[in-house]
Amino acid sequence: MNKKIVIIGGTACGPKAAARARRCDQQAQITIVEQGENLSVATCGLPYYVSGVIDSRQELLTRGPDFFKEVMNIDVLTQTRALAIDRKARRVEILNLGTNRTSTIDYDKLVLATGSTPTVPDLKGKNLEGVFTLSKIEEAQAIRSLVSPRRIKKAVIIGAGLIGLEMAEALTSQRLEVSVVEALDRVLPALLDFESAAYLEKHLREKRVNLLLGQRVTGFEGDDKGWVDKVITEKAELETSLVLLAIGVQPNTGLAKDAGLEIGTTGGIAVNQHLQTSDPDIYAGGDCVENVNLVTGQKILAPLGSTANKHGRVIGTNVTGGDESFPGVLGTSIAKVFDYNVGRVGLSQWQAEKAGYDVVTSLVPGYEYATYYPNGKEIMVKLVAERANGKLLGGQVVGPGDTAKRIDVLATALSFGATVDDLANIDLAYAPPYNSALDPLHNAANVIRNKQSGYARALTPVEVENKLKSGDDFILLDVRSPGEWEAYRIEAHQSRLLPLRELRRKLDELPKDAEIVIFCQTSVRAYQAQRILDGAGFKDVKFMDGSIAAWPYELSTERKAPPPF
C-alpha cells in the first residue's frame, strides 16, 4: 500500500519536505494542506517588494499548486485549514475556507510546518487601520498600496530587528519620514553587541532614520475615521500614517498542543534530531519548532527560511524511510540595511557571558580587500572566543564592504569547533581585488591571540567612555597624525596627541607611572605604540579596541591645537 504523507503548511519547510519525499518515494500519496491562497511564498523578499526593488508579487511566488501537481504529483489543498489531529486514528480534520465544509484526511506520516505568527502587543489602539505586521504577501501589498503612490508621508516601525531595519530602508526609499522605536538600547539587540550596533546606528542616522532607542510603546491613537495617526512611547508622541509592528514572532503550536504533542521550554514544538515530535509518526520543522544551538547545546528558536528549508529536506527523507539527522543551528543571519551589510553568527558577547563563558573579544575595523586597490569599502569585525582555549563562540561583521563571505567563513569554522588559532591560519583566497594578504578575520583572530599571550591589553570603546564619564585620572593617548587630530578627535581633558612616528624620541614626555590608554584610527598604530611603551618600562598601558573607527560616541571637529603634556 502506498504511504500517505500529509503536510500541514505550505510556505518553506512544508513544500521542501513534500518535494524531497517525492524524490525519495515515487509511489507515496503526498498532500499539502495550506490555509492561504499561495504556496511557497518567498516571505524574506517582502521588504523588497514594498520598496519596489521586486516589481511584481508574482516573483515572490516561487512554486504554485499546478507545479506541485503536474511535475511532482503532489496534491495541494489551498485555502484549507487544519483543525485537529486525531493521533489514534491517524487522521486530520480540515476546513475548506471557501465552502466552509469540514472533512478528514488520513495519514501514515504527518508533518507540521505551521510556521510562526508576528507578535502583536496588547496595546491600546492595536486594531486601528494602518497598523500592520509583515508576514504575508497580502500585508506587503497593502503597505505598498499606501506608500508607492505617495499617499502618506510618515511611518513608525516598532522594533529594530531584521524586519524592522529592512523595512526602514524600504519605506525611506519611498520618501517617507521613518522613525524606529526599540525598547532596548540598540538596534538588532538580539544579534549585535553594543559596539557593532552603534557602528550601524551612525549609518542609519546618516540616512535620516529617526531612532528612538530604550523606549517602549504605550499605545496608538487614531483619527475620527479609525486610522492610526499617532504612536505614544514612554518619552515621545510620534505623528504617523502607518505603523509596522516588527517585534518578533511566535511559533504556531496550537495544533500540536491540542494533539497532546510535547512543547519545549522555548515555546516551540519539541523535536529530536530526526525532527520527530513526541509522536514518532508526526514530524515538525520550520519556525514552529525549537532547535539546538550548536555552540551552547541549549534549545532556541530560529525562525529563518534557511533553517526551514534544511528541516524540510531532513523530514522528507525520514518520512519516506530514511535516517537523516539535523544537528542544530548557529543563528547565522545577514541583512542589507541601506548601504551596510550586517551579519552575525554564533553568540554575541552578551549572550556568551550570559551562558557562563569567560570570553575574550576583538574589535577590528578593516577593508574588504587590499587597501591599495581602488574603491575598497570598510567593514568592522567583532570576534568572541573562549578565553582559556581560544574556541570561537561567535562573530559579527558590519559595514558597506563584503560581510557575507566573512560570516560564511565564521559559520563554517564554528560548525567544526575551530579556535582562533585555526582561524588565524585558515588558507583563504587572496588577490588584491578580493582580499588583503591577511583577511580582517585573520587580523581579528590574531588580536585575540595577542591578548591571550599577554602582548596585547585593551579596553573597549564603552569601557573608555565610562572612564571619561567617571573623570578617571589617565592619559588618553592619540598616536595619529596632527592632520587626523584636527579633522576629528575624542574631546576630553585626558586626551593628548603624540604621533607614533615621534613616540620613541619623546618617551620622556610621558609619565611612566600613569595609566595610558592609546588609540589611533583602527588600533594598528595603537597596538604598536603599546608594545613600544611596554618595552620602555611603562607599567599600565592599554590600547582601545577598534579605536576611532569603532568609537560610537560624538567626535569633536572643532579646530584647535593639541593640549601640552
Instruction: State residue 134's pLDDT score.
Output: 97
**Are residues 111 and 18 part of one domain?**
yes
Q: Is the whole-model pTM more than 0.85?
A: yes
Kindly report the average pLDDT of the chain as a whole number. Answer: 96
Phi, psi angles (nearest 5°) of residue 101: -105, 140
Of the candidates 284, 285, 316, the one whose C-alpha atom is nearest the C-alpha of residue 21 is 316
Q: How confident is the model at residue 558 (pLDDT cuts 50, 70, 90)?
A: confident
What's the Cα-to-Cα distance from 182 to each of 59, 132, 201, 261, 407, rounded to whole Å? Answer: 32, 17, 12, 35, 25
- Cell 500541514 sits on residue: 8
Instruction: State residue 314's pLDDT score.
Output: 98
DSSP bridge pairs for 458: 543
| Predicted confidence (pLDDT) at residue 150 exceeds the cutoff of 90 | no
**Are residues 477 and 432 part of one domain?**
no
Tell whether the torsion through CA atoms of 192, 198, 203 and 207 is positive or negative: positive
**Are residues 463 and 546 part of one domain?**
yes
Domain stop point among 453, 479, 501: 453
**Are residues 510 and 448 part of one domain?**
no
Q: How confident is the model at residue 565 (pLDDT cuts 50, 70, 90)?
A: low
**Are residues 364 and 433 part of one domain?**
yes
Domain stop point among 404, 424, 453: 453
108 contacts: CB under 8 Å, gap ≥ 6: 3, 4, 5, 90, 281
Does 525 reside within a domain?
yes
**pLDDT one-digit tens code per residue, 64-103:** 888 999 999 999 999 999 999 999 999 999 999 999 999 9
**Are residues 240 and 257 part of one domain?**
no
Does 51 reside within a domain?
no
Does 498 reside within a domain?
yes
Does 329 reside within a domain?
no
Per the structure, the complete domain to which residue 9 belongs is given by 4-42+57-115+250-318
Q: Is 24 assigned a catalytic role?
A: no
Average pLDDT over residues 332-356: 97
For the chain, give the percent of residues with pLDDT over 90.
95
**Are residues 473 and 407 part of one domain?**
no
Does 556 reside within a domain?
no
Instruction: State residue 183's pLDDT score.
Output: 97
DSSP conformation class of 376:
-
262 contacts: CB under 8 Å, gap ≥ 6: 269, 270, 277, 278
**Are residues 140 and 82 part of one domain?**
no
Instruction: State residue 108's pLDDT score.
Output: 98
Phi, psi angles (nearest 5°) of residue 340: -105, 145
DSSP conformation class of 505:
G
**pLDDT one-digit tens code per residue, 380-407:** 999 999 999 999 999 999 999 999 999 9
Does 47 reside within a domain?
no
Instruction: State residue 450's pLDDT score.
Output: 97
Does 491 reside within a domain?
yes
CATH number at residue 286: 3.50.50.60
| Predicted confidence (pLDDT) at residue 564 exceeds the cutoff of 80 | no
CA atoms lying within 13 Å on the CB side of residue 496? 19
138 contacts: CB under 8 Å, gap ≥ 6: none
**Are residues 513 and 449 part of one domain?**
no
**Are residues 139 and 205 part of one domain?**
yes
CATH number at residue 470: 3.40.250.10
Q: How many domains does the chain have?
A: 4
Domain stop point among 453, 477, 499: 453
**pLDDT one-digit tens code per residue, 229-288:** 999 999 999 999 999 999 999 999 999 999 999 999 999 999 999 999 999 999 999 999
**pLDDT one-digit tens code per residue, 350-373:** 999 999 999 999 999 999 999 999
**Are residues 243 and 290 part of one domain?**
no
Instruction: State residue 459's pLDDT score.
Output: 97
Instruction: State residue 471's pLDDT score.
Output: 95
Average pLDDT over residues 306-321: 98
Catalytic residue among 13, 24, 44, 520: 44
Does 198 reside within a domain?
yes
**Are residues 481 and 449 part of one domain?**
no
Q: Residue 120 CA to chain centroid, in angstroms? A: 20
**pLDDT one-digit tens code per residue, 472-528:** 999 999 999 999 999 999 999 999 999 999 999 999 999 999 999 999 999 999 999
| Predicted confidence (pLDDT) at residue 179 exceeds the cutoff of 80 | yes
**pLDDT one-digit tens code per residue, 19-76:** 999 999 999 999 999 999 888 889 999 999 999 999 998 899 888 888 999 999 999 9
